[in-house]
Structure 1
Amino acid sequence: MQTNQQTSSVHCSEPSSLRHCISLLQTCTKSLSIFKQIHAHALRTCIPISHPLLARHLIFSLVSLSPSPLRYVHAIFSQLTHPTVFICNTMIRVYAESAHPAPALDVHRKMLHAGVSPDMHTYPFLLKACAKLMSLRDGEVVQGKVVRLGMERLVFVQNALVHFYCSCGILESAYKVFEGITERTLVTWNSIINGFSANGRANEVLALYREMIIAGRVDPNGFTMVGLLTACAELGALPLGKRVHVYLIKSGLNRNSYVGNALIDLYGKCGLFDEAHKVFDEMGRYRNVVSWNSLIVGLAVNGYGKQALDLFAQMEREGLVPTDITMIGVLYACSHCGLVDDGFMYFEQMKSRYNITPQIEHFGCMVDLLGRSGKVNEAYNYILKMPIEPSAVVWRTLLGTCTMHKKLEMGLTAWARLVEVDPGHSGDYVLLSNLYAAVGQWSQVHKLRKEMLSGGVRKNPGRTCSMKCLRD
């Protein structure tokens, strides 16, 4: 009798305990330890974890933390046999915005299996997860479900589809979706402009931006301008880039890291390093590692090796941790300055000091470092001992240094490897032709040029931008 009374009193207190726990979740200081204490209190007062109201508030509170404790959140979600659409959408969103978005697809499958009907908030984030995974198959399956549910005309879904196809590099499909959007928001324009920009379609970016301005329904923001500046940098369209810079200053859109980094990239690629450094200095607190990388790499690849290394030393003094991109700039700077020993020192520090695993680009820089300094045989031996398969770029680098130092025999060895890994590349024919010319074998130069013509090899055109683009 006493046991029954105790059980009855616990059940009677459950609603009040539930309200108390929810109130605590909403009002207490947001920290994982406190949320765990509230969770434990709920369990002690016999509120099951599968209770949809408790799970909703607990999951929502946990995902508001930065970073979100995804394992803990997933453990709670997995206890729910009948999750609500709100909880499922929350889980899809938090996974889509994380570094590991694949479980978002599992959540979607679970909600369908549980008979939970998706709503207008489900698919934009699910498509965002597919975009991050660059999973064309999963994204197309999601699009099929969207069409069957009659949601294909929702602007949030359409914007997500544009972003998804751009992320997968399927620009024709992205543009097809874009063309079908009648009410184009700023997000719509930014998705298509930045998507084309990220895929190297610079001329189309300028055309899209012009179309956006003519439509006149929305004003560009900083993200729009980043896409436009990237296109200007790709095309070498400095006059247009400068006009964009003036617009950014006048509109106050220049005070963020994305715009600043794009401006540094523009001026760096156009060789205006005084302007690039001025933007870098003016960024102040908006500077990040990408800002440093843009300027260091820009200086290095344009032959300003000493300035690049000085900037790297300043970066270290300010306590910033270099990335793999930083080290490409540093190694390339050493190559241009002929600092072979320093280059090998920095290469070793990548692993021992910065915990960066060297990639093919870093090994290519080392080959360039040795080759430029005249150590062509050492560069060849270095390639043979590389722990990863040398790419065409590595062999191309060796061929370039052979041309520089008139090493015909070694150059022909590099050429033979290039024919194996990347046959028909026009730039390789040009490098070999230059090598023959450097050693005075003009008959071979003419023979090679005939082979290029008969084989249909054409030199790739350089960057061009019509005057109409620049005027518009």
Structure 2
Amino acid sequence: MNRLKQIHAHSLRNGIDQTQYLLTELLQIPNITYAQNLLNLTSKPTAFFYNKLIQAYSAQNQPHRCFSLYTRMCFNGCPPNQFSFTFLFSACASFPSPLYGQMLHTQFFKSGFGHDSFPLTALITMYSKFGKLKLARQVFDEMSMKDLPIWNSMITGYARCGDMDGALELFRSMPNRNLVSWTAMISGYSQTGKYAEALAMFLSMETEESTINHVTIASVLPACASLGALEVGMRIETYARNKGFFKNLYVSNAVLEMYARCGRIDEARRVFDDIGNRRNLCSWNSMIMGLAIHGKSCEALELYNEMLMEETAPDDVTFVGLLLACTHGGLVVQGRQLFKWMSEKYRINAKLEHYGCMVDLLGRAGELQEAYDLIKSMPMKPDSVVWGALLGACNIYGNVEIGEIAAESLFKLEPWNPGNYVILSNIYASKSRWDRVSKLRKVMKSSQITKAAGYSFIEEGGKVHKFIVEDKSHPRSNEIYEVLNEVWSKMRQEKRAANFDLELEEVFMME
């Protein structure tokens, strides 16, 4: 910085114009305040000077300063160019509403740059960030010549707004695709919870031998984790390590999460150890959550203490993992203490997830009244997860009174869910309240509430297959049932088949 000040002083003394060099260097430091003062002292600043500062303010999320410069630019008779509008549209995305962007959109087309790809891409991105897909699509459709970034911008816009059908329609009609196109689709499917589609898109991408980078990998691994596609996930980890992508913390954290959710907690711990000093809060949270879900409660709490020793402050996600660990380990005293520390020691306000964990913890321990009192003390309205945890605990301990309260709340929140009726019916049956059981069945029948067919995902040969009960839609269903029949025949031949047959027939009758 001192060197730049010396150059500036020298240029002023000798009448040398080095404004462009100084401005460029100042913004690389960055020292925007000095750069702004330099612009203010310039007698006739060019569009280049304004654009550099607008870009810098946009990168620092200061859209009002960008518009102030744009206004000054126009007032001083310096017409904006296509780069000005590109940076301004990017800045507009930081405003709370699209009003400024729409005003600028009008000025943009009056300026004669309405066919330039760079500002149009930024314009489509801006409208998409505001959820204005119709306006973005109108800009897209009015373009006579569409290059690849324009297509990708529109697809990303659809994906960002959760309209994956619209994204897929455009993706299929693209004249050509690149890495950004594929990654936008994979990321969009993952973020909208359509994990099977995300994985299928990734496998198609592999088939076409398209280039894969760290962003693609970080986008598809959550899909592998949610589907239990361990084989594909392991193959992706090998690829990531070979390509050097594992050095990227997003990728390594995604691999860790994938192993933890696929039941390979030992592999998750291996990855966690490999990350080493690069660990961030996400790494710690994923490992704590993985240990908690797999019943390794003491290890989860030990890891939490290790995290504190390394001076990594916990957040609300950390406490969800810790409370889950206490729930699975039956550690009621520790759970109460952690729930208390969360607000008193770390100033973290409890969310629905934390209350749900505490209700589940107390309910499993038989502390049903305390769990119900906690629900009544919640500062927010309890959701179906909270009431569902209480109802499940009432089913375990046969508590009719609190069970009815929980069930009534669930009937209002999710009247379509037959599981709540079934659980309450089981509670009545455990207390021989057969009249109540009969009444519930009549309510379900009159309301046409039926149990949805369950389904399973099975990974085989790097592909994930979905099956529902008595499913015959799979192209190899005949072979599948032949194998099942063979297995069934062998089971019947076993000496213990008699008792086992009886249990299976009862299950089939229930189905």
Are positions 1:457 and 2:463 aligned together? Answer: no
Q: Which amino acid aligns with 1:383?
A: I
Q: Which amino acid aligns with 1:52?
A: A
Specify which of 163, 167, 175 is matched with residue 174 of structure 1.
Answer: 167
Counterparts in 2 of 1:127 and 1:340: CA distance versus 1, 3 Å: farther
Residue 111 of structure 1 and its aligned partner are, at CA, apart by 4.4
Contact 2:50 2:69 in 1 (8 A): yes
Q: How many residues align?
A: 446
Counterparts in 2 of 1:84 and 1:321: CA distance versus 1, 3 Å: farther
Q: Which amino acid aligns with 2:133?
A: G
Deviations 1:144-183 (A, max 9, x none): 12211325x3221221222222222211111101111121
Normalised by the length of structure 1, the TM-score is 0.83
Indicate the SS of the match to 1:465.
Answer: strand
| CA distance in 1 between partners of 2:126 and 2:373 (Å) | 44
Q: Which amino acid aligns with 2:342?
A: M
Contact 2:66 2:91 in 1 (8 A): no
Indicate the SS of the match to 1:390.
Answer: coil
Residue 291 of structure 1 and its aligned partner are, at CA, apart by 1.6
Residue 415 of structure 1 and its aligned partner are, at CA, apart by 0.6
Deviations 1:5-56 (A, max 9, x none): xxxxxxxx99x98943323112347456x442343344346457xx634312
Task: Name whichever of 270-279 and 52-61 sits farther off.
Answer: 52-61
Residue 90 of structure 1 and its aligned partner are, at CA, apart by 1.3
In structure 1, what is the equivalent of residue 505 of structure 2? none
In structure 2, what is the equivalent of residue 470 of structure 1? 463
Normalised by the length of structure 2, the TM-score is 0.77
Q: Which amino acid aligns with 2:154?
A: L
Specify which of 6, 21, 24 is matched with residue 23 of structure 1.
Answer: 21
| CA distance in 2 between partners of 1:360 and 1:18 (Å) | 64
Residue 444 of structure 1 and its aligned partner are, at CA, apart by 6.3
Q: Which amino acid aligns with 1:90?
A: F
After superposition, where does 1:367-378 map in structure 2 within 5 Å?
367-378=359-370
Point out which structure has higher relative CO (alpha carbons under 8 A, 6+ apart): 1
Indicate the SS of the match to 1:254.
Answer: helix
Residue 428 of structure 1 and its aligned partner are, at CA, apart by 2.2
Specify which of 220, 233, 256 is matched with residue 241 of structure 1.
Answer: 233
In structure 1, what is the equivalent of residue 103 of structure 2? 109
In structure 1, what is the equivalent of residue 213 of structure 2? 221
| CA distance in 2 between partners of 1:79 and 1:224 (Å) | 42
Counterparts in 2 of 1:451 and 1:265: CA distance versus 1, 3 Å: farther
Are positions 1:122 and 2:119 aligned together? Answer: yes
Task: Name whichever of 195-204 and 121-130 sits farther off.
Answer: 121-130
After superposition, where does 1:297-316 map in structure 2 within 5 Å?
297-316=289-308
| CA distance in 2 between partners of 1:427 and 1:323 (Å) | 33
In structure 2, what is the equivalent of residue 183 of structure 1? 176
Residue 86 of structure 1 and its aligned partner are, at CA, apart by 0.8
Q: Which amino acid aligns with 1:192?
A: M
Counterparts in 2 of 1:19 and 1:92: CA distance versus 1, 3 Å: farther
> What percentage of residue pairs aligned between the two structures are identical?
32
Counterparts in 2 of 1:259 and 1:368: CA distance versus 1, 3 Å: same
Are positions 1:40 and 2:37 aligned together? Answer: yes
Contact 1:189 1:212 in 2 (8 A): yes
Are positions 1:416 and 2:411 aligned together? Answer: no
| CA distance in 1 between partners of 2:384 and 2:192 (Å) | 21
| CA distance in 2 between partners of 1:461 and 1:419 (Å) | 21
Q: For structure 2, which runs of at least 5 residues remain unmatched after alignment?
A: 1-10, 466-511
Contact 2:388 2:410 in 1 (8 A): yes
Q: Which amino acid aligns with 2:226?
A: E
In structure 1, what is the equivalent of residue 315 of structure 2? 323
| CA distance in 1 between partners of 2:154 and 2:233 (Å) | 29
Contact 2:269 2:287 in 1 (8 A): yes
Are positions 1:268 and 2:260 aligned together? Answer: yes
Q: Which amino acid aligns with 1:40?
A: N
